[in-house]
Amino acid sequence: MRILVTGAAGFIGFHVARMALARGDSVTGFDNVNDYYDPRLKEARLAELAGLGGDWRFLRADLADRAAVAAAFAGSGYDRVVHLAAQAGVRYSLENPMAYVESNLTGFTTILEACRAAATPHLVFASTSSVYGGNTTMPFAESEGVDHPLQFYAATKRANELMAHAYAHLFRLPCTGLRFFTVYGPWGRPDMAPMIFAGAIAAGRPIKLFNEGRHSRDFTYVDDIAEGVIRAMDEVATPDPAFDPAHPDPATSSAPFRLYNIGNSEPVALGVFVAALEDALGRPAVRELLPLQPGDVPDTFADTSRLAAATGWRAQVGVEEGVARFVEWFRAWEAIPAPARG
């Protein structure tokens, strides 16, 4: 298939593009390669994709540039659009909310309009487990309401879900939203906990554990996430014949629209994740216990039964194996020698 992946220089976008290329798809990447974090990592991901030898091309442009987006779609005939470009980060949304407006709201509108004009057969877009916000019913299920976000980032991603539904309803644009749960693995973002913790442990610096380390997270290995994105991409959203407008299910519709959780479905205490990092790095962590931060959700736990029923997808990689793979890549990236094992 011919696929456009926005955010292809990003963490998840890179892995999705690589997996699509590996199965023989024609992939066009679109990314502005901004400096939210070190662009050298993004450039290295792009170099890796360029070296795979598949049908790959890359467009360096911004979603806010409507002319560039129009040019990316012109004559392309994409079979799928996978929209993973976004301003990410929970705490950064407290400091710079306008970045989220420009990327997550304006940028997403640009993609919706381009897909509508091109009659794209299926748009898959990234949402987040953060939309569950103040909900404490575990595991999180797509049938539950998500009307109490705890940060602006989550509010913009919930807005994306609503915007996509409007386009699915008005223009019959098939849309599938994926709520990602705490993704980690090789080529990860340096602003996320696994990279921060690994760097600190390797250097002997303290790691900051908010909520005094009492968080649990549905840590999901990035290859599992990419596989789920590919499977959801292949399963084109259709109207739900059982949809009841008198008792509406938020995750389906009379329009061609679906929402799915995509997570490991096995929440892990933060201390267990840190212990896996300690074991893989061969060094103990120095823990600094701090209070719960504004916008933080104490626990996450995904009910992924709907995605499994629709696509057959289930997470395969456990935390110990996933962390070991991540640390192997991290050592190579940071040029850190392996520990001596007695």
Catalytic residues: 153
Task: Give 101-166 as a DSSP string.
Answer: IIIIIIHHHHHHHHHHHHT-S-EEEEEEGGGGTT---SSB-TTS-----SSHHHHHHHHHHHHHHH
Task: Give 249-308 as a DSSP string.
Answer: -TT--SSSEEEEEES-S--EEHHHHHHHHHHHHTS--EEEE-PPPTT--SB--B--HHHH
Residues 49/8, Cβ–Cβ less than 8 Å: yes
Q: Verify cis geometry, omega within 30 degrees of 0, for the bond prior to 294.
A: no
First to last CA, the chain: 50
Quick one: which of 253, 228, 251 has its CA closest to 238?
253
